Amino acid sequence: MTETTTFNPNVNNAATTPAFLSVWNVDAYYGESYIVQGISFKVHEGEILALLGRNGAGKTSTLRAIARVDEPEVRAGEIWLDHKPLHQMKSHQASAAGVALVPEDRRIIPGLTVEENLKLAQIAPPIGWSLERIYQLFPRLEERRKQEGVTLSGGEQQMLAIARALARDIKILLLDEPYEGLAPVIVQEIAKTLNLIRDQGITTIIVEQNAVAALKLADRAVILDTGSVVFDGDAKEVLENQALREEYLAI
């Protein structure tokens, strides 16, 4: 007799620990290019997960699959967030369900001030943090609230991109290369901010080429190689395992 396995969105395939986000056996394609190849992992509520790997490993594609943007196309598998089936949603529905993607290029809107960028994010529900609360977390943005967003420094633009995500009522923050092009002191400032956001109960997945900085921030790490999961465990374990870092992260 063949036993039928039913996927439980609160359990990551072989694991038994309830998960806030479950990515289960997901396949995703750009055209006919098989980019994300049957990956499964979970993220707990309030956790920071570092999603790592070499260039082309499928990290950004995985974030985009979770956010349900047009590409890549998810052709198999399931993605559940807080009991909701993201894999059945369009991008605007996933956003309403609490998913916020901060892309690598940040996408600050030209011609709008810092405050106008934030207010634009709050035009339609669900509304998240108030401007007052955002400015408490990002006092530099309050100082520059009347300045055009695209004229900010790289670090300030990254703060604005994260703040704009928080202006919505989000459950999970997806960050694609938030440290790119930033000086070490600014990286430390962004990391401190992400820790404060975690203290507010927001779950975060960070994709970052600066793997050491991401691992120092994260609770857990998932490493991808050619579209597949090759490691899923404690971030500290990756920091302490030189052979693992050399093989899959080239560090």
Beta-bridge mates of residue 74: 28
Under a CB-based contact definition with an 8 Å cutoff, are residues 82 and 171 in contact? yes
HSE of 150, CA atoms in CB hemisphere, 13 A: 7
Rounded CA-CA distance 210/215 in Å is: 9
CA 42 to centroid of chain Cα atoms: 13
Under a CB-based contact definition with an 8 Å cutoff, are residues 34 and 58 in contact? no
Per-residue pLDDT tens digits for 195-230: 999 999 999 999 999 999 999 999 999 999 999 999
Rounded CA-CA distance 30/47 in Å is: 29
HSE of 232, CA atoms in CB hemisphere, 13 A: 12
Per-residue pLDDT tens digits for 98-122: 999 999 999 999 999 999 999 999 9
Rounded CA-CA distance 243/105 in Å is: 32
pLDDT band at 18 (very low <50, low <70, confident <90, very high): low
Rounded CA-CA distance 167/127 in Å is: 6
Q: Is 140 exposed, middle or buried (0-12, 13-18, 19+ CB in 10 A)?
A: middle
Fold of 21-244: Rossmann fold (3.40.50)
Least confident of 13-22, 26-35, 106-115, 171-180: 13-22
Percent of the chain, pLDDT > 70?
Answer: 93
- Domain positions in the chain are 21-244
